[in-house]
Amino acid sequence: MAMRIDMHVHSNVSDGTDSPTRLVFAAQEAGLDVIGLCDHDTFDGITEAREAGRRIGLQVLPGVEMSTRYKDRPVHLLGYGCDPWNRPLLAELTKLRASRVNRLQAFLDKLAELGLPLTEEDVAESRGLSPSLGRPHIADAMVAKGYVANRDEAFAKYLGDGKPGYVERYATPIEEAIRLIRGAKGLAVIAHPWGPGAKDVLTGDALAELAKAGLEGIEVDHTDHDSRSREMLTQLGARTGLIRTGSSDYHGTGKLNNPLGINVTRPTAYQEIVNRIAARGGVGPA
């Protein structure tokens, strides 16, 4: 039986709801052999996840999901196999996390104006021990207050890009993020490139340009992509020499339609990623 590989999942170290250990056990229960743990702007869950994986025989490929910007549009970039102690990359991740915290009060002010008051303590309770504060934590606080039924409603009505409660924040220029990931001996893959907000700028020409800048893959099989988008992205990836991956983008109960293993990565694509990381001295799966 072929390996089942889910290359993009989240724990409660960022905006997922499962601990890294529970995530690994859930992945095994879902019939997976490998996961790529890609928490937002932090590596803090990797060690725990890999220790749990070693105990039960499930491989964990270390990753991170960086908040980047391309032509003034938000683009999420996955970095696989990076040295988690690389100073330039760590400095940028720290800057990204700080930008999340710094905009919290602006979110609270906007929500108060909309008749949905929250305090920093409310958000801190929903955030738990995560070092990477995000909109999902604000959404969870809104759910706890009874303002919305779930995260999806919070984003659809208030927190999503362009919605009345949205606040802009810093994001790394994507070319710089690719450079930092490569400098940390990792491999860069664009997450859900044709999800909301970026499809009209991440054209075939743009992907070719980013490939020249060091991009090595695109996430094709994702719940944000319909069958036509997947077909077109597969063709664009082949044309530009990009590895095509698939994932659930699992967030536990934080995303209702993204169960573990709903999309997977072909073993041959995964092996190519692992081989490239090994060749440059990065951190492989364990």
Count of other CB atoms within 10 angstroms of residue 43? 24
Which residue, among 165, 196, 185, has the nearest Cα to 75 in the 3D structure?
Answer: 196
pTM of the model: 0.91
The yes-or-no verdict on residue 101 having pLDDT over 90 is no
Query: pLDDT tens for residues 201-259?
Result: 999 999 999 999 999 999 999 999 999 999 999 999 999 999 999 999 999 988 888 99
8 Å CB contact between 208 and 240:
yes
Among 79, 283, 281, 280, which residue's Cα sits nearest to residue 174?
A: 79
Q: Is the dihedral of CA 66, 71, 74, 76 positive or negative?
A: negative
How does DSSP classify residue 234? H
Domain 5-95+170-279 has CATH 3.20.20.140: yes
The per-residue pLDDT for 148 is: 96
Distance CA 253, CA 260 (A): 11
Burial of 232 (0-12, 13-18, 19+ CB in 10 A): middle
> What phi and psi, each to the nearest 5 degrees, are found at residue 79?
-115, 115
Contact 35, 18 (CB under 8 A): no
Question: Across residues 13-27, what is the average pLDDT?
Answer: 96
Per domain, the residue ranges of the chain are 5-95+170-279, 104-159
What is the average per-residue pLDDT within 121-126?
91
C-alpha–C-alpha distance, residues 268 and 82, integer Å:
21
DSSP class of residue 185 equals T
Q: What is the mean pLDDT of residues 142-150?
A: 95
Distance of CA 258 to the CA centre of its chain: 13
DSSP 3-state of 120? helix
CB 20 within 8 A of CB 252: no
Matching CATH topology for 5-95+170-279 and 104-159? Answer: no
Residues in the chain: 286
Q: Is the pLDDT reported for residue 1 higher than 80?
A: no
Mean predicted lDDT score pLDDT of the chain: 95
CATH for 104-159 (3.40.309.10, 1.10.8.870, 3.40.50.150, 1.10.150.650): 1.10.150.650
Residue 59 is predicted with a pLDDT of 98
Rg (CA), the chain: 18
